[in-house]
Amino acid sequence: MSDATSKRRFSPGTTIDDLKAYMGPFAARLGYKFNTDEDFVAMVLEGEIEVLDRDGDVYCPCRMRTGDPKEDLKIVCPCIPFYTDQFSAMSKCWCGLFIRTDVEDGSTLHGVIEAPDGPVDVRVAATGDLADGQGRVVAVGKRKLALFRVDGEFFCLENVCKHLWAPLGEGYLDGHFVMCPWHGWRYDVRTGTTDHPDADVRTFAVTVLGGEVFVRI
């Protein structure tokens, strides 16, 4: 049995409806949906089935495989988690198969386009992902951030404590202060400030829209 066949997620005879059923809930969890242009979706998924039959998985039809398994993981559809900042800026994935849930008409979002310059609001979580008084580490492209919920509000900081680089998103909340999980340094989640000199961390603006949490990068 070939390596590609032994690792494939889909059995021979996989259909467009099978891919939709598999990909749809995952993309929705990330704040994306299938493009509203159903003919375009069908065309792309037909291409994905050809890639699946040839290469053993649904690699992005817009990009070439490198041959490096770790790198090629980043182009297995849906590849949204690996390019959250770029896709948020474009309101779509590379090919336009998936569009952000706040886009009403995706018919103009076909093909590869250049991401606009400047800050972008990146969807990082659903409001229900964090209970009050809870934090977590969220990934935005190659960057990791610390997201917190306190008294119903969301706050976002750099994820790295300036003492010995511990992940603040794994720390312990005490009101509006997060305690570093390694040595207890305390940071105000509203301002990123700490009592230790020259150790403040950067904050990121957070907005909540339609039950989704966005961080401005």
Q: What CATH code would you report for 121-216?
A: 2.102.10.10
* Residue pair 187/177 in contact by the 8 Å Cβ criterion: yes
Domains 3-100 and 121-216 share a fold: no
Q: Is the peptide bond before 78 cis (omega within 30 degrees of 0)?
A: yes
pTM of the model as a whole: 0.72
pLDDT tens-digit readout, 44-103: 999 999 999 988 899 988 888 898 988 999 999 999 999 988 899 899 999 999 999 989
Q: Confidence class of residue 1 from pLDDT cuts 50, 70 and 90? A: very low
Domain boundaries, the chain: 3-100, 121-216
Q: What CATH code would you report for 3-100?
A: 3.90.460.10
* Confidence (pLDDT) at 110: 86
pLDDT tens-digit readout, 114-160: 766 778 888 999 999 999 999 999 988 788 999 999 999 999 999 99
